[in-house]
Amino acid sequence: MGPLHYLRVWLAGARYSMVRTMMFRFDTLMWALVEFFWMAVNLLLVGVIYSHTDDIAGWSKYQMMLLVGTAMLLQRLTMGLFWTNLFEMGRNIRTGHFDFFLCQPGNPIFMVSSRKLDPDALFNGIIAIGVVAYSVVQLGLHPSLLDIGLYALLVMLALVIHYSALLLITSATFWLIGSQGIEGSYFTLFEFSRLPRGAFHGAANVVFVYCLPAVVASNAPASVLIHGFQPHYVLWLGGMALLWLGVAIFVFNRGLRRYSSASS
């Protein structure tokens, strides 16, 4: 299958997801509201904290809001594009329904990652973009088209890291028998992505900044809008995205060799 064939498959899945969403509009609205209130609580928490201090690790209130908005955007994109698919992958491996994806004429990783979309999460991604834009205005920043393009590029690289971490976590299902709740490890891993890099010192800096790039994934795009182009961030994030994606693909393929189909 060539790139155009994969694009058609993805578009077909997106079309199916939109039709299904229209069939269950109330359910979609309720989940969208739940996610919206979760985002609102995070922003209110920033307001409460900064009512008692002027900066945290050198970040002002609206710089922190820009960082939180970027972190929320990454999580909404991950949830909207990949979460349902990879969550179901773990369940399908345990039940043997994973055969359905192996029988399809395409790369198994693509097939299990792109079958469905979650429009409610993607809609809240637009709200997260609004938070970022509002913070930029409040900070009096005037990012150039290059800065905006770099921000989008770094968000895409950070999204690769989020996707790779989620694929890596769910691929553990190939080895584990009882793996209920393993998908929630993703949220644990990226729980610190809403904090500035300067807040980490010592062992925490090594673990959450260098070993597990959850902090850099959100800090790098936000720093581009605040401080302008920083080549080391682009190279760092690009390298980490390639590394994590390579590891995730390797682990998935190794797990695939262990998979026993429902017909075996």
143 vs 177, which has greater pLDDT?
A: 143
Q: How far is CA 89 from the centre of its chain?
A: 17
Most confident by average pLDDT, 27-36, 172-181, 192-201: 192-201
Mean pLDDT on 114-139: 86
The confidence band for 174, taking pLDDT boundaries of 50, 70 and 90, is confident
* Cα(13)–Cα(85) distance, integer angstroms: 11
pLDDT of residue 26: 64
Q: Please report which confidence band the pLDDT of residue 247 belongs to, taking 50, 70 and 90 as the band edges.
A: very high
pLDDT reported for residue 154 = 94
Percent of the chain residues topping a pLDDT of 70:
89
Across the range 111-129, mean pLDDT stands at 84
| pLDDT range class, residue 52, cuts 50, 70, 90 | confident
Q: For residue 6, give the nearest of 186, 142, 204, 14 by alpha carbon.
A: 14
Q: What ranges do the domains of the chain cover? A: 3-258
pLDDT tens figures, 149-165: 999 999 999 999 999 99
Q: Residue 136: its pLDDT value, please?
A: 93
Digit-coded pLDDT (tens) for 84-119: 888 888 778 777 778 887 777 778 888 888 888 888
- pLDDT at residue 72 is higher than 80: yes
141 contacts 149 by C-beta, under 8 angstroms: no
pLDDT digits (tens, 9 = 90+) for 182-236: 766 777 777 777 788 877 777 777 777 777 788 888 889 998 898 888 888 888 8
Could you identify the residue written with the tokens 């945290």?
56
Q: What's this model's pTM, rounded to 2 decimal places?
A: 0.86
pLDDT band at 18 (very low <50, low <70, confident <90, very high): confident
